[in-house]
Structure 1
Amino acid sequence: MKLTQPHAKQFKHTLLSVLDLAPITQGSNASETFKRSLDLAQKVDEWGFNRYWLAEHHNMPGIGSSATSIIINHIAQGTKQIRVGSGGIMLPNHAPLMIAEQFGTLDALHPGRIDLGLGRAPGSDQLTARALRRTLFSNGEDFPELVEELQAYMSEDVSTGVKAYPGVGQDVPIWLLGSSGFSARLAAAKGMPFSFASHFAPDYMHQAIDLYRSRFEPSETLSKPHVMLGVSLVAADTDEEAEYLSTSRKQQMLDLMRGTPGQFKPPVKNLADHYSPGEIAALERNRGASSYMTGSPETIKQNLSDFIDETGADEIIISSDTFDHNARVRSHEIVAELLT
């Protein structure tokens, strides 16, 4: 199983990758969002990032990657070397056979460049989960069985009956994603690579990493643990500019906390003009974690270096959304300048 591309560069012996939530900015639309995502993907491909992942979310006006496998094809078709995949597909939302066929097809179209990251959360609220699944019989506890089922559809063992065509025998690395210890334990038991959403659940990061590494069982596809950690990052030419740009992401998170998700908003000079002190304090308690980084090139370099030293991450996947596309490209370019 290939986890890296030959062209991928590193920072402090750690691979760097990109997580794209395909933000739909205020006054824009999904068509423009996908053009911007492709432009960013083409640039980070040239700059030596390892992979470009898109995340499945539903019923969120500010996120355009709900039909994740279709957007993956769009990005893979317009890039040359970078690995492209899902960060992740929320498997309980889908029939495992359909995901096996979709990603088998993607690998046939873009051989050796497709990753399949799997999560067990709905990626939505309960009402939307019901619309996706028709019933709520799956609450995520059957995730291990769903993963096994998907793997069986793609295996070359003919005794298992139904198969995914395309999909059987193709090289699609399967990752497990999580924000708790559940997927860490499962990934370790199955000898699979593991990605932890540090920027969603920073308080559980070290526990999940330790669980995965201490319990890892080598498999036919992976001989040693491989940990990728999610980081929320906004880089700019100055600390002040980066902090200003980051208010768009903060507004998105605050609106989610309010239960009023919307399109990605322009930055503001003062969040206190729009949100209560209690709301801002609740947000900052999370954003004080080491997996949230905002600043100039020098600040980001130090933050990333400290985070890698703290965690020993094999790979970092950065989520760097800003309202202005040029600022978003510049944020990734600043990170790319650290790669050697």
Structure 2
Amino acid sequence: MATLGRIRNHGVLLLIVIGVALLIFIVTDFVNNGSTFFREQRANVGSIDGEKVKYNDFFALINQAQDFVKVEQNRELDDNAFESIRQDVWNQLVMQTIVEKDARKIGMIVSKQELSDLIIGANPSPYISSRPMFQNPETGMFDHTMVARLIQELDNVSKSEGQNIDMEQVNRLRNYWKYLETNIKSATLIDKYNTLLSKALVVNSKEAQFAYNNSKTSVDVIYAMKPYFTIADSTINIDDKDIKALYDKRREQFVHEPSADISVVVFPISPSAEDIDAVKAQIDAAKAGFVAVSDSTIVDSVNYNSDVPYVDVFLSAQDVDADLKEFAFASSKNEVYGPIFIGNTFKMAKIVDTKMAPDSVKLSLI
């Protein structure tokens, strides 16, 4: 009884203590759940058609795309290139996600066997047959064996990791291959989907027959017409309700959207004589470095000075710029030609290497 009495005497204090404890519990629960929510928000970079895109997955795709470009162009990337790659990866992911979502609903896929045929089959995907890495250096043509060799080398490295291997280069090649394989699969699925849509829009035989029958059907009609002006106005009674009803029915026909008159002045962007002289001075200054550049730094030199990126392959006569063809196949290694000015473009070329092959030369172009 004494205990109950003490509880009654301190009832208000007890209620305050219990209330504070409950408040702490609620706040703690909110903080815990809230932190989980915010962590989840930070873990996602966005959503595509309701599907969340996780940061780690998106960053992995960017790494693959970066390594693909590095291997293809044999150079490191600057901030502008990285931003361009990031945007390209996102755009590809949007297209891929939307098409795959609809394709799954109708059972459309790219099977493992189909993907294998597109990579090492008799009719490979253009995504792989056009890659310089898989072109035979002697013929300049696509070589299946070089694809198989890369796959085998990556497989062998996976079995022997931990040994004295340049893992940075290996991981770059792995990302290169993953990116290439993913794009082949995605492009094939999108091509299938587009083909399906195009076939769905073709007129079928029933529709064609129906249109033909309608076009050859004719009827004879006899009708009588009484012009409005023959009806006396006095015989027609129109009140305000009739006028308002007609107004409400037709007023949308007379709505005019806001419009504006715009005067446009087009200024053609063409170089002045001073502009051409300034660019010529720049390329003349670059020529000394172009002549002296070594094989190890020629890639960076060309990519820095030229609008045409360096391509490390031997070119046949049909691939060489027509303005440079005579120089390319009549000159020796390290000879430089130009600069020449043709069609508002300065061109300069250097023979990097030559080899005995059907109409083939390795040419560096600025």
Q: Does TM, normalized by the shorter one, top 0.5?
A: no
Higher RCO (C-alpha under 8 Å, 6+ residues apart): 1
Instruction: Considering fraction of residues, name the structure with more strand.
Output: 1
Band of TM-score, shorter chain: under 0.3
Instruction: Considering fraction of residues, name the structure with more helix.
Output: 2
TM-score by length of 2: 0.20
